[in-house]
Amino acid sequence: MALALSVLEKLQHQPNSTLSTICFIIITILCVLINKFTRRNNKFNKLPPSPPKLPLIGNLHQLGTLPHQSLKALSDKYGPLLLLQLGQTQALVVSSADIVEEIVKTHDVAFSNRANTKAAKVFFYQCKDIGFAPYGEDWRKKRKLFVLELLSTNRVKLFQPIKENEVSMMINSVHEACAKESSVNLSKLIITTTSNIFYRCIFGLRFETSDDGRKSIAEAVRKMLIQFPKLGVGDLLPSLDWVDVLTGFMSRLKVTFAELDEFLEGVIEEHKRKKRDENNKDFVDILLQLQERDMLDFELNGDTMKALLLDLLVAGGDTVSTTIEWAFAELANNPEIMKKVQEEVRRIVGGKSMIEENDLNEMKYMKCVIKETLRLHPPGPLLIPRETANSVEIKGYHIPKKVTVYINSYAIHRDPKLWDNAEEFIPERFEDSQQVDYKGIDFQFIPFGIGRRACPGMSFGAASLEYMMANLLYWFDWKVIPNNGAMIDMSELNGLTVIKKQPLYLEPMPYSIC
């Protein structure tokens, strides 16, 4: 603009004033355009660093089969804040605790939206749940329902008999394997037990059942867990959205969804017909009761109820079983740690025939083992992707609006600046820092998320996890099946949660409490 005024001053001395005015207008417009272009360039220059990308696909080829590991490697090379181009979409990758802290303390609302995929929209009834719903008043009301009515401490205690019954059956099945001197597929056993616990708490049904055709739901859930993490072509290249119809991607999602929806509809209708005793209510009963008494400040229609039930189903059992599986794999590879935690468990239980809740509260070292497992093997290492609601500044970088945000807890948990011997399994590191917990307020340790969108079911899941762990450690000694001296294979397989690639087989030996 200063340039335009200078030129105008010179032109005023020219004889043709009309020409001078026209020139002034043209120069003014050019200056405005240059100013805008410069500002855009300044913003562009302030964007976070980005690895080299290919035409059309951008950085997609750099994600690999285990994105959390690939993104950690990229962050180690280019920095803890990366901006990637995934097809036609932008993605921000956060891999440091101090940046996470800045997000939570300064920009949590801006980072509280969800970046929803086609699968999330199909399976969760256009995101009417709390896990994938957009941030806002409706979401806050649903989350309040979870915290106060479904997943409270009192509710956890009411479901204790279910945990005791299912864990008892698990222990009996291991005793049978001991009698036959056979190994145990601990992965399968843990998945079955956790699934039965959560199915009974949610639906009043066991996962493995029955003569009424409900066994088919197990297969539908397995398909969902496989399909859900996958991205369609349209998720990455919106202009090619139609490709997902041609390839059958959308039809596969809808077939699995139809099976789940039929099951959920049937369970809800059955619960409406059969009124249960107050002390035997499951989550379906609780939601129906709240709906009937009009005790909620949002509309709990059929689709919303089914979406919330799926939240409980997906977020619960899979996370617990994955953590226990990794814990026993690490303990099997570290027999001295296995011995130490078993000695603690057995000393506290003291020969009783059943582990009590008060016993679990005293098992400090076992809790350290669980925390260390979650540090090295967070169930969802990239958490649930977020989306920026507006543009913000982070560490001097400009973060645009509507950017998908991946917080790499895997990278943060293995940051050598935060953790000594970061790649090693050392539960003792938590003995001197018992205050470090997984509730999302210690930014170097965030296995269940951060801020407003942290998982509301942590306490409910932890209760099942600790009880199962303690029983397996108390009743049996565990040996690695001889394999020419090789350790347990710790290779990962990516899915809704990151599980062991190979099932965990161990040899149990009964512990005598006499």
Known binding-site residues equal: 455
Look at residues 196, 186, 189, 188 and name the one whose alpha carbon lies nearest to residue 164: 196
What is the DSSP code string of 371-423?
A: HHHHHHS-SSTT-S-EE-SS-EEETTEEE-TT-EEEE-HHHHHT-TTTSTTTT
Exposure string over 144-168, b if 16+ CB within 10 A, otherwise e: ebbeebbbeeebbeebeebbeebbe
Two structure tokens written together for 410: 């895997």
How many residues comprise the chain?
A: 514
User: What is the widest separation between alpha-carbon atoms in the chain?
Assistant: 114
Please name the amino acid found at residue 341.
V
Reduced to 3 states (helix: H, G, I; strand: E, B; else coil), residue 91 is strand
d(CA 367, CA 164): 19
d(CA 404, CA 115): 6
- Cis peptide bond N-terminal to 459, omega within 30: no
Degrees (nearest 5) of the Cα angle 305, 495, 183? 105
Known binding-site residues for heme equal: 455
Contact 323, 374 (CB under 8 A): yes
d(CA 348, CA 363): 7
H/E stretch holding 154 reads helix 153-158
